[in-house]
Amino acid sequence: MRKIRRWGAWLLLIIPLALNAQQRTEKLLNVPLPEHWQEEDAMFQQQLPVDDHWWTVFQDATLDSLIHVAVRQNPSVLTALNRIDMAKANLRIARGGYYPALSLDARWNRQQTSGNTGTGQPQSRVGYYDATVNMSWQVDVFGSIRQRVKAQKENFAASREEYNATMVSLCAEVASAYFNLREAQQELSVLQRNALSQKAVVDITEVRYNTGLASKLDVAQAKSVYYSTLASIPATESGIIQYMNALAVLLGLYPQDVTAALETGKPLPDYIEPVGVGLPGQLLLRRPDVRVAERQVNAQAALLGASKTDWLPSFFLNGSFGYASHDMKDFTKRSSMTWSIAPSMSWTIFNGGQRANNVRLQRAQLDETINQFNITVLTAVQEVDNAMSSYKNSIKQIVACREMLNQGKEAFKLSLDLYKQGLSPFQNVLDAQRSLLSYENSLVQAQGYSLLCLIQMYQALGGGW
């Protein structure tokens, strides 16, 4: 059964080139792609998402500038560009096999023979000039060179897709780090705002204590809540610095180069909009990692074909053309011309099973790349489904957190008013204070998480570059 699957996979690689890319890709899959995503919701539209610059939907000029800098200076992007150059050089090296190899040999020789060797020949002195152009050309009768060139061409295309994958990942990482920073800055703002409110409550309890309307316990409890909030501020400020440093690395800069542009906090985008996700089949045409896996399959199939041609003979055409003469004045005369032409064939009959084992190796590597392709596609579908589910539920969480915050504000206001009137114990105020801070933080975190889910969705869809 395994053998049948292997040969079936090999036959899938030689389907007509007239088939489009999606059809060729789907034929490599062990299982058909689903017709629809697992998540069916009004938040998702059955159309392809925006191809370029998805981050502009957040309408944040700072984020646009950060991504613009990152794509020009990030070391990972520069490394991906270097890999493209290396793949292009390898392709040109392989294409060089189509052409003959030419070499030029030129020499001047002066020698003297002995007259005392017993041969009866007198001593003589001879000198001559010689210049020859040599040619050696392997005639690609059975396509060995052509198959290797094809493999390098697919590797070159794969390197370009890897560059695209790097760009998609980089844009998502920059956006994620940026919104993590803005979320931390919003959490700091929430802490500072609640600290001011809690300080006002401390002042109220002290006034009531000094007038004999409250106990010292109320003052101590109010201060414990206030100082607990103040104690949370340094850790949040430390997190802000760490996110700035992470952004600096992604931009290929030092932290001090980005601090001035990012130290002022900005609110998180209030983005709750439908997202175009397309269909699972369209995903194969968008994700760079899927296209890389397909190119690798094609390259390995070409190498398998090239290894099979090693069983066949190789044909060569060798020749030379030049001039040779004792005197330089006669060097370019017709009578000084030399030339030769020598077609040849080389056919390895036995080499210890190396060719057979090389074919087995290439076939096993082809099976591996096909399996890796299937894993890549299945992972891609899984990542999109996960991102869609996370984003949809994050929107529900934001709606619930907003209502929770509104009720928390109302509870704090009512409990404080009742406490001032002496109609409610101070414990209700303390509980309302703690809950209000927690509710505000929960809303900020829910908004940040929703943005990260949306970024992950765009990344999973392969959009953004």
User: Residue 206 pLDDT more than 70?
Assistant: yes
Confidence of residue 420 (pLDDT cuts 50, 70, 90): confident
Predicted local distance difference test score (pLDDT) of residue 21: 42
Sheet of 124-139, strand order: 101-113, 124-139, 314-325, 337-346
pTM, to two decimals: 0.77
User: Residue 377 pLDDT more than 70?
Assistant: yes
Give the three-state DSSP class for 7. Answer: helix
User: Residue 285 pLDDT more than 70?
Assistant: no
| 221-236 average pLDDT score | 89
| 46-73 average pLDDT score | 77
User: Residue 28 pLDDT more than 70?
Assistant: no
Highest-confidence segment of 19-33, 44-58, 170-184, 205-219 = 170-184
Predicted local distance difference test score (pLDDT) of residue 273: 66
User: Residue 171 pLDDT more than 80?
Assistant: yes
- Rounded to the nearest integer, the mean pLDDT of the chain is 81
User: Residue 177 pLDDT more than 90?
Assistant: yes
User: Residue 20 pLDDT more than 70?
Assistant: no
Q: Residues 8-15: contacts with CB within 8 Å, 24+ apart? A: 9/366, 9/367, 9/370, 10/301, 10/304, 10/363, 10/366, 13/297, 13/298, 13/301, 13/366, 14/301
| Residue-wise pLDDT tens digits, 119-168 | 667 767 777 788 899 999 888 888 888 999 999 999 999 998 888 888 88
User: Residue 4 pLDDT more than 90?
Assistant: no
User: Residue 33 pLDDT more than 80?
Assistant: no
Predicted local distance difference test score (pLDDT) of residue 465: 44
Phi, psi of 180 (to 5 degrees): -65, -40
Predicted local distance difference test score (pLDDT) of residue 14: 30
Run of H or E including 130? strand 124-139
Predicted local distance difference test score (pLDDT) of residue 165: 87
User: Residue 267 pLDDT more than 50?
Assistant: yes
| Residue-wise pLDDT tens digits, 391-414 | 888 888 888 998 999 998 898 888
DSSP code of residue 29? -
DSSP for 175-206? HHHHHHHHHHHHHHHHHHHHHHHHHHHHHHHH
Predicted local distance difference test score (pLDDT) of residue 265: 82
| Residue-wise pLDDT tens digits, 440-463 | 889 999 999 989 988 888 888 887
CA distances from 332 to 169, 198, 201, 328, 335 (A): 65, 104, 109, 8, 8
Torsion sign, CA atoms 226, 230, 235, 238: positive
Confidence of residue 52 (pLDDT cuts 50, 70, 90): low
CB atoms within 10 A of CB 287: 26
| 432-438 average pLDDT score | 87
Predicted local distance difference test score (pLDDT) of residue 1: 41
| 66-72 average pLDDT score | 89
| 211-228 average pLDDT score | 84
| 332-342 average pLDDT score | 87
Which residue has better confidence, 119 or 65? 65
| Cα gap 70→116, rounded to integer Å | 83
Runs of H (alpha helix) within 211-279: 216-251, 259-262
Structural domains in the chain plus CATH codes: 2-98+143-311+356-460 (1.20.1600.10)
Which residue has better confidence, 116 or 445? 445
Q: List the one residue out of 195, 222, 197, 196 whose CA is nearest residue 207.
A: 222
Q: List the one residue out of 91, 124, 126 whose CA is nearest residue 109.
A: 126
Which of 62-66, 292-296, 423-427 comes out lowest in average pLDDT?
423-427
Tokens of residue 331, six digits? 């060097």
